[in-house]
Structure 1
């Protein structure tokens, strides 16, 4: 898998080429040029000409790596020929060969070509140095031995570095692949989590609105059916309540499918909103409701949360409590808003209650950093206390 060079990789490559160039110029070109300054005119001019030529070729390859004429491999062949020429003119140039060895591993494509071309450079260096004196006198000279040892050491070091870099690149690609897989899995997990949260929100809204409305419609319809023959006025009121509840459910359904504002709650203060709900509850059930509703100012989200907690608590009173009196107290404290709902019904064991309504209320309040406390025991009624901290308010 080919990867686009990252900024850090390009910076490191640029620094390596810079230091390699400085080392080659200071330790290779300049000392070799200085060595021929006192030589004969012809030898000096030829040597300086060859060094200038290879320096120019190096600059072209380094600055224009994709030029169609002087490709890196061509440059390395020219470098080998120049080494042979310099070695011939000076009687040996092992030092220049050693300093130029990194070029064969930087510019050649692959370790095999590096070994071959650096071997060609070593051969021309040895050949040029021994050409004038004859092989029998100069073949085992220190210059040639040093060149051969440098070539062998360069091959060993180059192969080791190539293997190390290859393993590092493979590890990098593996980590990149694992990172991509992890990011994809994380995105899928977030998507699943979002879908689950949305399903829970919709389920909670359905339970707190539509399901409660349908339950009210069923109770009112049964009561109207019982009163149709004996109390026409009461039956008419219950039918009106059924129609009103059905319209409210329709409005809530539009909210859930996204064709109406998300709150689905009429504008007004918290106290006004709760009072409308309690009036409906009294009208539908005939129970006695006492209220202490402070004029509390809060944002829409908090107002909806308090309303939903009230609706759920009243629905539980209607379905389970068999109560005669319900008390609702809304109070603003320095630490936040508290809503207390009590009844004198039959009560229940809190630890054994795992209904969706209580769970939904807790989750709704938790989204606002609030809390729900439920206190009850058999025969002693129930107390529901919802608290939303002040830092949740606007």
Structure 2
């Protein structure tokens, strides 16, 4: 309805059909009435071209709308007064006022002006007779009621369409925002995951290298060449392991192979930390723990790595036990040492225990740390399993590297 070329065709066709009807005598009029009727038709076309057409489909212009009503009123009064047949121009006038008026209120007002103008033309042309008045009331009343009802209905459809378009735009904008937020959250989670991976692998290996290098230097200064050589051999092995960790971290290889290997992986970790800390480390992994899925084995393995790293750096322990068991729907890891202990309620500057807690929480488990100054430390990790002992589906751990 807002395309100008359709309005052009409608106005030209309607005006031409009305003029042809007058020219071929389909409507009985004398020469004066015909001249006035033709002038009214020409004025209607000019009014459309000058006033109405430029604002079709454009933002509402109150001055234009007022001028449109004035022009339509004059044309319809004069034309209908010359011949009642020109009341047919209502068929074009009513839609015009609804389109250009742009609101329901303006549409109803414009329709009322057209109806009054046509009624006035009937009365002027036919005299103030009862027949002329009744004919005018019947024609204008029906036309006004029909045009108003149709205009309100079409306006409702248009408003519904506009509302739908607005909602679609808002939905599109919201989806774009959600995508952006999801991307940002994914990037943040990836950075956090990478930080955990680096801390659990490379950082701990490098920390071990520092400890071993300091020991080798001290042994060399003390003249213990054999002990220094042994320590340097351990340094070489830890460095090789760190290199393997770095390569595997880049390649995103899996930490734990498909076959049961949790016990062997923990034993390799224990060997490394025995060399670093000089503590006796006892490892026990039962069959149920070996049957855990890869993701949970990774979580437990990294918890063991973090726990032993803390023992080597802080605990000054002589005996450490690492136990992994499965049963009653829970896989349990316990790391117990006889070191100097600490107060778990005090704030910690390191990332280790907090990172361990985050990793366990992502797998749906819990972390407990029992310790006191001078009383050793117990780290306990519990991961939930299904009712049949199989792992429950949960958050997937990121790709890890073998110790």
TM-score normalized with structure 2 length: 0.64
1:34 corresponds to which residue?
none
1:219 corresponds to which residue?
211
Is 1:364 matched up with 2:355? no
2:50 corresponds to which residue?
none
CA offsets, 1:294-345, max 9 Å, x none? 1321222111111110010011111111111101111111212111001111
Is 1:389 matched up with 2:384? yes
Inter-partner Cα distance in structure 2 for 1:121 and 1:141: 13
Inter-partner Cα distance in structure 2 for 1:274 and 1:117: 88
Is 1:335 matched up with 2:329? yes
SS at match of 2:254: coil
1:21 corresponds to which residue?
none
2:134 corresponds to which residue?
142
User: Which residue of the other structure, out of 193, 196, 207, is the alignment partner of 1:204?
Assistant: 196
Unpaired segments of 5 or more residues in structure 2?
A: 29-83, 394-403
Inter-partner Cα distance in structure 2 for 1:86 and 1:321: 113
Aligned residues of 1:220 and 1:284 also touching (Cα < 8 A)? yes
* Residue 70 to residue 291, structure 1, CA distance change in 2 (3 Å): same
Inter-partner Cα distance in structure 2 for 1:87 and 1:111: 33
Question: Is the deviation greater in 358-367 or in 378-387?
Answer: 358-367
User: Which residue of the other structure, out of 304, 310, 316, is the alignment partner of 1:316?
Assistant: 310
Aligned residues of 1:77 and 1:117 also touching (Cα < 8 A)? no
2:340 corresponds to which residue?
346
Aligned residues of 1:338 and 1:386 also touching (Cα < 8 A)? yes
Q: How many residues align?
A: 323
* Residue 214 to residue 79, structure 1, CA distance change in 2 (3 Å): farther
1:306 corresponds to which residue?
300
1:248 corresponds to which residue?
241
1:237 corresponds to which residue?
230
Inter-partner Cα distance in structure 1 for 2:111 and 2:226: 109
* Residue 104 to residue 136, structure 1, CA distance change in 2 (3 Å): closer
Tell me how large the CA RMSD over aligned residues is: 4.6
Equivalent runs, 1:1-394 vs 2, <5 Å = 71=9, 73=11, 105=95, 110-111=100-101, 137=129, 140-153=132-145, 171-228=163-220, 230-256=223-249, 258=250, 260-264=251-255, 268-295=260-287, 296-354=290-348, 355-391=350-386, 392=391
SS at match of 1:350: coil
Unpaired segments of 5 or more residues in structure 1?
A: 1-60
Displacement, 1:284? 2.8
* Residue 188 to residue 67, structure 1, CA distance change in 2 (3 Å): closer
TM-score normalized with structure 1 length: 0.66
Inter-partner Cα distance in structure 2 for 1:79 and 1:118: 25
CA offsets, 1:216-271, max 9 Å, x none? 00000011111225333322222122122222222222233x3x243355665211
